[in-house]
Chains A and B, each alone.
Chain A
Amino acid sequence: MEVCRKMVNMLGAERDLNFKETELCLGLPGSEPEVIIKATGKRGFLETVDLKLNLQSKEESMLTNASKEKNLLTSTKDPAKPLAKAQVVGWPPVRSYRKNMMAQNNNNNNNKSELERDQKAGGSSSSAAAALVKVCMDGAPYLRKVDLKMYKSYQELSDALAKMFSSFTMDGNYGAQGMIDFMNESKLMDLLNSSEYVPTYEDKDGDWMLVGDVPWQMFVDSCKRLRIMKGSEAIGLAPRAMEKYCKNHS
């Protein structure tokens, strides 16, 4: 019943909930999200792109977000309800369109109070409206769109993109967390010289940047468009990325 209700809540609140929560995995419940991800198979392209410097806080916020998700799930259920009510299909007679809307509403409201707490604690904030950006991949015939506000980290974004462009796989090892290490210039150059795919984005200034060189929230606020291109093409961006990096972190 618990699982059923979870699923019902999940289906109703597409935007905010972390699908990883109910994804089947080999790891123990409560284990790190990353373990879960690896068990599900191939990745589309470069996993995450992140500054080493920010890694720590990102991991923390990822974990706290994950546990918040769990709280969210439990808080939206009413544990004391008799089973009989929950089992009657189609009762009360409310259309699923309305049910879904109200479930989303409930979750948004819960999110809002979570967010207020979050903001006080100085964590990253997200909000209800969409931050939709187009995503294109060199060589892919179709254009997709993602809502950046659905994700809380580069990791989550990369998972989603991997699912969308699943025909493109990546081999190669990018370290334990699969991150580009901007501090390590030679590693970066290796990547950019390869034929692997890297995600880039156009920011508010119209510049094309490598994804991952600014804190997540800043990225969400400034990203206008995403393009996944071959590393060798992105090489022209790297120096600018480095420049901006220096600017942002001096």
Chain B
Amino acid sequence: MRKDRTGISQDDDRSPPADLRGAESSNKTRNCCGVGSVSGSTGPISMEFQAPCPDQVLENVLENVLQFLSSRRDRNAASLVCKSWWRVEALTRSDLYIGNCYSVSPRRAMSRFSRVQSVSIKGRPRFADFNLMPIDWGAHFTPWVTAMASAYPWLEKVYLKRMSVTDDDLALLAESFPSFKELVIVCCDGFSTSGLAIVASDCRQLKVLDLIESEVTDDDVDWIACFPESGATCLESLIFDCVECSINFDALESLVVRSPSLKKLRLNCNVSIGQLCRLIVRAPQLTHLGTGSYSSPDDAVPGEHASDLQSALSACKSLVCLSGFKEMLPDYLPAIYPVCANLTSLNFSYANIHSDQIISVIFHCHNLQVLWVLDSIRDEGLQAVASTCKDLRELRVFPLDARGDNEGPVSDVGLQAISEGCRKLRSILYFCQHMTNAAVIAMSRNCPDLEVFRLCIIALHSPDHVTGKPMDEGFGAIVMNCKKLTRLAVSGLLTDRAFGYIGKYGKLLRTLSVAFAGDSDMGLKYVLEGCPRLQKLEIRDSPFGDAALHSGLHHYYNMRFLWMSSCRLSPKGCQEIVRALPRLVVEVIKHDVAVCPDDTVDILYMYRSLEGPRDDAPKVVTILQ
């Protein structure tokens, strides 16, 4: 039955429909018709040349060709050609990407793809990062690592995002995969320094250990000292700036000395500038450096390590990315000037320093492509960025103080300046108190390469602060003029008109974030009916109800997920979705903070899945059936 497949657009991690499952064979028996097949009873082992049958030739050729196909979207397309292609593609896929850990079970994924070396798994939806979801909602790594332990003994790489990972999981990982090389953990929780210790000591081929924005419990284990003590390590990247634990500096220094391939090192706050100096001197080959606290509290004279630091940094000829600066002492700011000219990426988003000080650094950074800063940079600072960083591709401006003043430190003035100076901009995340349509329209015209536009106007329902009008025209211009736009986040005072624009022009849009916006069901309808590529839709506190939800029935199987919280959905309306689309898992989550009347749904989180309702949901989650 091919009914499910018609009209489904190409996208990430879609498995073929159920009817193809029977055709899978992870054993390699080929059906050859007749020619040259040897029956078991012939005597001598005379090896006559058996010409392979045409099917087999095709499959061999295919196998050789498909090895080179790396894009998973291309592979998904190839797998749909016919059963033979499906089979060969499955055999040659080495990178498994699971965009939603509940969309497919480990067993199913592993029985289709048998030769995987790298696995990426994403769990919770993004809004979980902002305390909008109960803590114990799910996304456990355990069933995955357990299954992989037997299915993929040659596994080399694991990437996890928004998953719950335990120390036992890490122990199993370290024990099961002798060739294990890369572990990248982003926005996860549930494990501790004990788990890190096991990975450090048992994964002898480890090249990459990257812990990014994750919550790691400190249970006083000296995990740095657990790396093998003698001989060179394979380490190329060690990122642990989010791990709040004390650091055995001698062990760390010794590790750095024994790691000649180390290119990326991002330290946590418990490394002082003096220690930082010593490390950099040991590793002048670094390309990415996270400076930790960048503070020196024991200075007898403020800045006494400055010249040492400066010369140590100058010796790093390959340094292209700097971050850290979490307790930055301005005395040490000039130490980085010499390396600024080579920097392509600078993360100052934890440096609570004055705008002038940031500007003094920016003026040296002519080659910057990625810049993350706090809004304490102010509009003047953004003007400096605009005049200096002509190559800028990605800009993120975070709020220093989320509650903010009425006059935020950055505004439409800064945005306008950036749009005029940084014409190659591809991605922007901008937090501000107020905005004008004019500045947003200017950006839509000046930056045609924009792929990601995320504007967060912190003041709720805030109109254009010059004209008093809604922000419809600004966002409309973005979707209209930025032909490459795939990701959009809207805010401020928005009417259904804005969504009309999005539906009409946002043809390439894959991710849309909506908060406190829209007038009626029409808004959501425009989007669901107009954006054929939409995969991830997250909406909060907007007046969209059951009728709007219903208007997306034709599209929900194409999406990774839909999130709607504090909207106007009823349990009945959600139930109808389940009836219409049996392969959708519809979770209704009760969450105190959503504060909705009893007959509305606090949180709706729904996603397509081949497995039906999951069995690890906590009590607050009701899966409609």
Contacts and interface: CB of A to CB of B under 8 A. Distances in A.
A89 B327 contact: no
B130 A145 contact: no
A127 B456 contact: no
B132 interface: yes
A109 interface: yes
Contact of B246 (A106, A127, A130, A142): A130
A85 to B, nearest CB: 6
B400 A108 contact: no
B203 to A, nearest CB: 25
Contact of A101 (B132, B296, B350): B350
Interface in B456-489: 456, 458, 460
Contacts of B398: 94, 98
Given A128-B297, A129-B272, A132-B270, A94 B399 contact: yes
B294 to A, nearest CB: 11
B515 interface: yes
A92 B127 contact: no
B3 interface: no
Contact of A145 (B246, B402, B431): B246
A109 B296 CA distance: 14
B436 interface: no
Interface string A101-116: 1100110110000000
Contacts of B129: 93, 95-96
B130 A102 contact: no
27 contacts: A85-B403, A89-B132, A89-B593, A90-B127, A91-B515, A92-B402, A92-B456, A92-B458, A93-B127, A93-B456, A93-B515, A94-B399, A96-B129, A96-B131, A97-B213, A97-B215, A98-B349, A98-B350, A101-B350, A102-B374, A106-B401, A109-B352, A128-B295, A129-B297, A130-B246, A132-B246, A145-B246
B316 interface: no
**Nearest 5 A/B pairs, CB to CB:** A90-B130, A127-B297, A89-B593, A129-B297, A132-B246
B560 to A, nearest CB: 19
Contacts of B132: 89-90
Contacts of B213: 95, 97
B403 A81 contact: yes
Given A105-B350, A132-B270, A145 B220 contact: yes
Contact of A129 (B293, B374, B401, B403): B293
A92 B399 CA distance: 9
A106 B456 CA distance: 22
Which of A97, A109, A129 has the most chain B CB atoms inside 10 A of its CB? A129
A108 B270 contact: no
Contacts of A81: 403
B336 interface: no
Nearest to A100: B244
B149 interface: no
Interface residues of B, number: 37
Which of A81, A128, A145 has the most chain B CB atoms inside 10 A of its CB? A128
Interface in A4-29: none
B492 to A, nearest CB: 12
B405 to A, nearest CB: 8
Nearest to A98: B398
A143 B298 contact: no
A174 to B, nearest CB: 29
Contact of B352 (A93, A97, A106, A127): A106
Contacts of A91: 130, 458, 460, 515
Contact of A128 (B127, B130, B293, B399): B293
Contacts of B327: 105, 108, 128-129
A64 to B, nearest CB: 21
A240 interface: no
Interface in A144-185: 144-145, 147
B403 A127 contact: no
A93 B403 contact: no
B488 to A, nearest CB: 14
Nearest to A125: B297
Contacts of B460: 84-85, 88, 91
A86 interface: yes
Interface of A: 78, 81, 84-86, 88-99, 101-102, 105-106, 108-109, 127-130, 132, 142-145, 147
A85 B398 CA distance: 18
Given A78-B403, A93-B515, 5 more contacts: A78-B401, A90-B540, A96-B130, A105-B326, A106-B401
Interface of B: 127, 129-132, 187, 213, 215, 220, 242, 246, 270, 272, 293, 295-298, 326-327, 349-350, 352, 374, 398-403, 431, 456, 458, 460, 515, 540, 593
Contacts of A92: 399, 402, 431, 456, 458
A204 B374 CA distance: 41
Nearest to A221: B298
Nearest to B272: A129
Contacts of B400: 102
Contacts of B352: 102, 105-106, 109
A228 to B, nearest CB: 16
A145 B460 CA distance: 45
Nearest to A78: B403
Contacts of A102: 350, 352, 374, 400-401
Given A88-B460, A128-B297, A97 B270 contact: no
Contacts of B270: 129-130, 132
Contacts of B349: 98
Contacts of A97: 213, 215, 242
B131 A127 contact: no
Contacts of A89: 130-132, 593
Contact of A86 (B297, B403, B515): B403
A91 B460 CA distance: 9
A88 B491 CA distance: 15
Nearest to A115: B297
B326 A101 contact: yes
B130 A93 contact: yes
A101 B242 CA distance: 10
A45 to B, nearest CB: 19
Nearest to A89: B593
Contacts of B593: 89-90
B324 to A, nearest CB: 11
B130 A95 contact: yes
Nearest to B349: A98
Contacts of A132: 246, 270
A78 B213 CA distance: 28
A98 B397 CA distance: 13
Contacts of B401: 78, 102, 106
B582 to A, nearest CB: 32
Nearest to B592: A89
A90 B591 CA distance: 13
Which of A99, A101, A143 has the most chain B CB atoms inside 10 A of its CB? A101
Nearest to B351: A105
Contacts of A142: 220
Nearest to B326: A101
Contacts of B326: 101, 105
B376 to A, nearest CB: 10
Contacts of A84: 460
A25 B407 CA distance: 41
A155 B107 CA distance: 57
A152 to B, nearest CB: 15
Nearest to A149: B297
B175 to A, nearest CB: 24
Contacts of B295: 128-129
